[in-house]
Amino acid sequence: MFSYDAKKAEIRIYGVIGDPEWGMIGASEVVDALAKMEGKRVAAHINSPGGDVDEGITMFNALKKHPGGVDTIVDGLAASMGSYLMLAGKKRKVSENALVMIHNPMTMAWGNSIELRKTADTLDKYLARMLPVYSKRTGKDVEDLRVLLDAETWYVGQEILDNGFADEIDDSDGADFVMTGIKKIAAKSIEAGNAPTALFEKRTKAISQSIDPRPKLTAAKVALMQLQAEEI
C-alpha cells in the first residue's frame, strides 16, 4: 500500500517495491506524491520487505533529491531494498521494535552454465551500485559490509542505530495534546492582541526542547490567563 498526505507532508511506503501494475509500490507513485509537496520537509514512513532494485534505487534518488528534504521513519520492517530506501533520509528514525535486514541482490535464473554465469555477474553489478550508499550512510567499510550482506544480517531496535542505519529511536506516542492545547490558546490570545506572536514562538520552542514537564504547565497557565483577561 502506498499513500500520502500532502497537507501533513507524509508518505507511507507499506509494501513490496516494484511494478504498480502487479500491485506493488512503484517509483512513479513516490515521485508524483513528492511533486505535490515541493519545498516541504517530508516524513517518509516505511514498512517494506523490499523488492525490485531498479524501482528502489529510483525511489531512493527521488527521496534524496526532494526539495525541502525527506526524513525516513521505519515503522515496522525495512528489509532488503527497504533497508536501502531508509538511507535516503536526511534524518533516519526507527521504532524501538523495528527490524532492518540487509542481504545481497537476488534473482531467479534459468539456462545453461554460460547464461547462469552472466546472471551472477549482473547481480555483482547490482551490488556494486548499492554498496557505496550503504557504506557512506552507515560509516561501515565496504569489505565489512560484504561480509554482513553475504550472511543476510538482521538488526532490531537499538542495534539499527549502533550499526549506523538510523540516527534515533522514534519513541513518539502520537499527538502531543498538551502542546496542541497551548498553541490553540496562544493563537486566540495573539489574535486578540493580548500577546505578541514572538513571545509564544519563543515559549513554544523552549517547551519543545525541555525535558521538564513544568514549562508546559506554566506556558498553558500564562496563555489561559491572557485569554481570560481578554474576556473580562
* 2 Cβ contact list (under 8 Å, min separation 6): 11, 12, 13, 14, 15, 25, 29, 30, 33
Number of Cβ within 10 Å of residue 181's Cβ equals 14
Coil vs helix vs strand at 109: coil
Report the chain's terminal Cα–Cα distance, integer Å: 53
Buried b vs exposed e over 79-90: b needs ≥16 C-beta within 10 Å? Answer: bbbbbbbbbbbe
Report, as residue numbers or ranges, the catalytic residues. Answer: 80, 103
DSSP state of 194: S
